Structure 1
């Protein structure tokens, strides 16, 4: 797999084509072992929830929290959200519910709903670097700046014409600061810059060393380039991985939309409940 830094000047549509493997079969619940053996690892934006014009406009559809709560119970707590969002942002979206989570692309972690959040050896971005990156938002009206502490995201869903200019500006900053330990993560109408010392995969690896996740087979669902690192490590755990909205190399199936994911998760919960009664 190419290093994410190589994608700095590529829009997501090109990356998806490059990363896509052979055609995959639709997802079947029969692929999933009993939930007592499973750890659910679920991306949020574009996977559980539909994308919105701005990060603050996403919403949790009716029934999703009930499904997640039931799967959390059926797996004895082995369900975690895995996101580029901070833990605080995740909690605001799902409030009043709280879930175990890997946040900030692996920078933060919460192992249980009643435990404190921990930073995972993740240094924040340099302040001067952040200042230079933040100035890119001035290139065009509609570019939204999101400071996540451990990373900085430039959303351009409201200014799609600015995509090339954004990536060119980021590339120029990287050329000016070749020693800066950063990675550029292209997403769906977002360019995110983070410290190179951690990824979603490193966060998942740490998560899988702790109870109740340890010893279970992870089932990971994600949708974009930032999830590629997690897809890549699933064979290390004899796990399952599924993509959403596009093909991805090495996954076991593909969902069309987040709604398909929600239906699938609900079916798994009902299947397990049927076995118990």
Structure 2
């Protein structure tokens, strides 16, 4: 259970916005090794129905990767840190004014992995992530190398996103917050009260806009500044989502 848990609006008036890694799913040594626990996809599908479609996964992962993880189920989603969006299960995925990273930038930053055999490169198209969960001692060397590339390309419109054992580089101009803001302007999300749950530094942009959207926010693992509640770990998030369904069912009886 989240501490300082506020009174939730009815699911019929809510928009559930959920980060994936470290929030819904436990972190793994590499992004490809995460697993969806039994029952989670079913709970999300039921919540999607109870909110009349106003549930979305909000992730740094590209939409194709999100779909692979939760296959065969599909969900509305904001992917690539706001670069991609799918408003409903039936709609086509669209890019949200976000150009993919240039081949030259990808090549330069991917070469940083040569610093250590444990560094994993993940090319997301709209961004590139350097994972060092298997090489935690390489963190400073990675950030120093990223800074050197940026110094060599001072006019490149890029930004660096630090995270849990990951350094991600993406074009500037879009974030999870810009993606969520765009999503909330469309039906069935429009006019609802958003409830966002996230765990990492990249989720802070969304935490920051929740008051403007009259929404609620929860952090996972760490107690982020300005949130309405906190979950110790993803398993508590999953239990809370199941409890939302149970409470809604009980209220209907």
Give the TM-score range, shorter chain: over 0.9
Kept in 2: contact 1:27–1:255 (CA 8 A) = no
Tell me the C-alpha RMSD between the 2 structures.
0.9
**Number of corresponding residues:** 252
Q: Which residue is equivalent to 2:212?
A: 236
Partner of residue 143, structure 2: 167
CA distance in 1, matches of 2:164, 2:242: 26
> Could you tell me which residue of structure 2 aligns to residue 263 of structure 1?
239
Counterpart mapping for 1:78-89 below 5 A: 78-89=54-65
Shift in Å, 1:161 = 1.1
**Where in structure 1 do 4 or more consecutive aligned residues deviate above 4 Å?**
none
Shift in Å, 1:27: 4.7
> In the TM superposition, what are the counterparts of 1:92-171 in structure 2 within 5 Å?
92-171=68-147
Deviations 1:206-228 (A, max 9, x none): 00000000000000000010000
The normalised TM-score by structure 2 is: 0.98
Distance 1:265 1:275 in 2: 16
Report the secondary structure of 2:111's partner residue: helix
In structure 2, distance between residues paired with 1:173 and 1:85 = 23
For 1:4-19, list aligned pairs within 5 A.
none
Residue in structure 1 matching 2:3, options 20, 26, 34 = 26
Q: Please, which runs of 5 or more residues in structure 2 have no aligned partner?
A: none
Report the equivalent of 1:276. 252
| Maintained 8 Å contact 1:156/1:163 | yes
1:202-260 residue CA offsets vs partner (Å, 9 max, x unmatched): 00000000000000000000001000000000001110000000011110011000000
User: What SS class does the counterpart of residue 236 from structure 1 fall into?
Assistant: coil
